[in-house]
Amino acid sequence: MDSQTKKFYLKIGVALLFIAFLLYKSAKSPGSIYAPDMAYSRAYETYADNNPRGTIMPVANTVSRNALPSEELYQKENSVIYSYNYSRFYKFNDTDKARAGVELKNPYQPTEAVLARAKVVYDKQCAICHGEKGMGDGKLIIREDGSDGAYKAVPPQYSDRLKGMKDGEIFHSITYGKNLMGPHRAHVKADDRWKLVCYIKELGGLNGAVATATTAVDSTKK
């Protein structure tokens, strides 16, 4: 090999070493980057401390599930406080149903306003089975043409069934359901369930002599 060729190979050797050096460096760091915005995302990481949109507080006036309403009645009345977290204090069984009957008082009286509100809820949620007047003849039970409806379990008349029941027990049954009647705690809020107790007792004629209340219900008769 002459010196010319030697030099040539030496040059190639040095060049290869240099390339190896460059490659070695780039394995440790990416070197210069053409479009840094794309290599390093500017998006905020969800839980990063510096993320102004990360773990943000709920919007002002957000009401969490089971939160008590702010009116004074709700903050004071044990019955209402329990009924907003009902399933924590009373389970779906007969012992707790009886206990609710003893421990919980209906925070509402069957006044005109209470019955008027309850009627709105009742006609939407209950009348389809129990019937508008609580006779167990809702449209799911008996069709308008008189034939048997889709629902086979005939609800009892309130006048019979509610006679021996305490308000808390009735509340319990509306909350959790009873046999073929489903639970209503998800679609009727707690204070409306108490108002329903007033209303269905009124339908069953079990509220005693509450003069204004009776007139209120009469005025809704068709």
120 makes contact with ligand HEC (CB under 6 A): no
Size of the site for ligand HEC (CB under 6 A): 22
- Which of these segments, 16-24, 38-46, 56-64, 166-174, binds ligand HEC (CB under 6 A)? 166-174
CB of 137 to ligand HEC, least distance (A): 12
183 makes contact with ligand HEC (CB under 6 A): no
173 makes contact with ligand HEC (CB under 6 A): yes
Footprint (CB under 6 A) of ligand HEC, residues 184-203: 184, 188, 196, 200
CA distance 21 to 123: 83
| Phi, psi of 181, rounded to the nearest 5 degrees | -90, 130
Q: Write the CA distances from 207 to 18, 62, 118, integer angstroms.
A: 99, 37, 14
142 makes contact with ligand HEC (CB under 6 A): no
Give alpha helix (H) positions in 29-139.
36-39, 72-76, 78-84, 86-89, 94-103, 112-125, 127-130
CA distance 174 to 126: 10
CB of 199 to ligand HEC, least distance (A): 8
